Structure 1
Amino acid sequence: MDDLVGTQAPARRLTDPDEAIAALELALPGLAALRLPCRRAINWSVLEAELGAVLPADYKLFCESYPSLVIGDFLGVGGPVPGFEVRWVHGARESLEIVAEWCEEADLAVPLHPYPTPGGLLPWAGSTQGDLFLWSTGPAGPQEWTVTVASRSSAWWHYTGGAVQFLADLVGGVLEPWALPQVRAEVIAR
């Protein structure tokens, strides 16, 4: 039986993308050194048209500012590469097949569904152990999307902040890492 462990909320939701990035750089001291010298020119309009959804501004800024990363030798997060935006969408769609299987197998009081179902789950990161980090999409728009964690151990939980703030709070020890290991404040480019 799968388990919805619960919901964690930030003390204050960071809605400004620059503020969320600053919080992540504070939680991950080595991150600032990996910041790209120039922001990557990702064609978000092509990607979002192909995906059928506008992505959150904090994630876009993260993807434009850093290479793909592995945090704490556990959590991999990255984004589209300029010129390969459609390939990123195809990868997301493949991940959605896994999300669909997990949602179908989950025995949760309130069923979850993959994107593009309204309010559906859309993956944005994964762990080296097969855990998924997803946006809970919603009609209020991408700046209001929250995070859902689907752990390989069948525990599901929610975080009511954005993706970048989630990373900062997880690495910074603000969150209980329910069904996840403690994530060390180490980062490498991959």
Structure 2
Amino acid sequence: MLSLSDTVFARAAEGTDAVAEYRGSVERLAGLVPPPTAAPRRRDWGQVEREIGTALPSDYKRVIDVYGGGRRFGEFIYLYDPDSSNAYMDLAVESRNALWALRELEDVSQCPYALGDPPELLAWGRNDNGDPFFWHRAGPDPDSWTVAVSEEGDPDEWFTFDGGLAEFLCAVLSGEVRVPFFPENFPPAAGS
């Protein structure tokens, strides 16, 4: 069985002070959605961040370290993998695609975020309905980025969450937070 202390918390020396802040969120997520029994492969986060061109939030890296990339949470939310062989699940590829789509719609939609260079948004996942999930990169510290979700097919409809990825997953999977354009039957029973 995968031990959180072995895979995440023992690595605290590798991270920043944010590790302690996100420890609770990742631990809570593990209580809602049990991690796989086999440890996912380790990522070279320095290399991943160089390839993507930006630092990534600590909680995202911890969730990937515990669950692996391409994971489906609540039978509905997919987390992009930083180096997936599947282009539709690859963090860099899908981040570019989501940004391209928003830029293409700029003439007809009212995206509340700056899409220039660098853009305020970086995609980290999507759901079965195609709704993209983004980090709102409001500052240089990735551990301060919050979550923004755009409704597929209605680029003017946005949901914002004042917290990080792990906190967002916990909030929506526990039913504490409801995204208005998610299906009525979400979240499913615990543990999916």
Same fold (TM over 0.5): yes
State the alpha-carbon separation in 2 of the partners of residues 80 and 187 from structure 1.
Answer: 24
Counterparts of 1:16-35 in structure 2, within 5 Å, are: 16-26=21-31, 28=32, 31-32=33-34, 34-35=35-36
Instruction: Tell me whether 1:52 sits opposite 2:53 in the alignment.
Output: yes
Identity %: 25
Q: Which has the higher contact order (CA 8 A, sep 6+)?
A: 1
Which residue is 1:175 aligned to?
177
Equivalent position SS for 1:164: helix
**Paired residue total:** 166
Contact 1:42 1:64 in 2 (8 A): yes
Range with greater deviation from structure 2 (41-50 or 52-61): 41-50
Contact 1:136 1:145 in 2 (8 A): yes
| Structure 2 gap ranges (5+) | 1-18
The two structures have a TM-score, normalised by structure 1, of 0.74
State the alpha-carbon separation in 2 of the partners of residues 82 and 44 from structure 1.
Answer: 14
Instruction: Tell me whether 1:99 sits opposite 2:99 in the alignment.
Output: no
Q: Residues 106 and 82 from structure 1, CA distance in 2 versus in 1: closer, same or farther, beyond 3 angstroms? A: closer
The two structures have a TM-score, normalised by structure 2, of 0.73
State the alpha-carbon separation in 2 of the partners of residues 42 and 105 from structure 1.
Answer: 39
Which residue is 2:126 aligned to?
126
Equivalent position SS for 1:158: strand
Instruction: Tell me whether 1:69 sits opposite 2:74 in the alignment.
Output: no
Q: Residues 77 and 104 from structure 1, CA distance in 2 versus in 1: closer, same or farther, beyond 3 angstroms? A: farther
Letter in 2 for 1:135: W
Q: Residues 142 and 15 from structure 1, CA distance in 2 versus in 1: closer, same or farther, beyond 3 angstroms? A: farther
State the alpha-carbon separation in 2 of the partners of residues 22 and 107 from structure 1.
Answer: 37
State the alpha-carbon separation in 2 of the partners of residues 94 and 153 from structure 1.
Answer: 15
Q: Residues 153 and 89 from structure 1, CA distance in 2 versus in 1: closer, same or farther, beyond 3 angstroms? A: closer
Contact 2:76 2:127 in 1 (8 A): yes
Contact 2:94 2:123 in 1 (8 A): no
Which residue is 1:159 aligned to?
161
Provide Cα deviations, 1:91-122, integer angstroms capped at 9, x if missing partner.
432332123335554225xx31347435x111
Contact 2:80 2:91 in 1 (8 A): no
Tell me by how many angstroms 1:151 deviates. 1.0
Q: CA RMSD in A?
A: 2.8
Which residue is 1:38 aligned to?
39
Provide Cα deviations, 1:65-108, integer angstroms capped at 9, x if missing partner.
11322223321114224899xx6423432332123335554225
Contact 2:113 2:121 in 1 (8 A): yes
Equivalent position SS for 2:102: helix
Q: Residues 72 and 54 from structure 1, CA distance in 2 versus in 1: closer, same or farther, beyond 3 angstroms? A: same
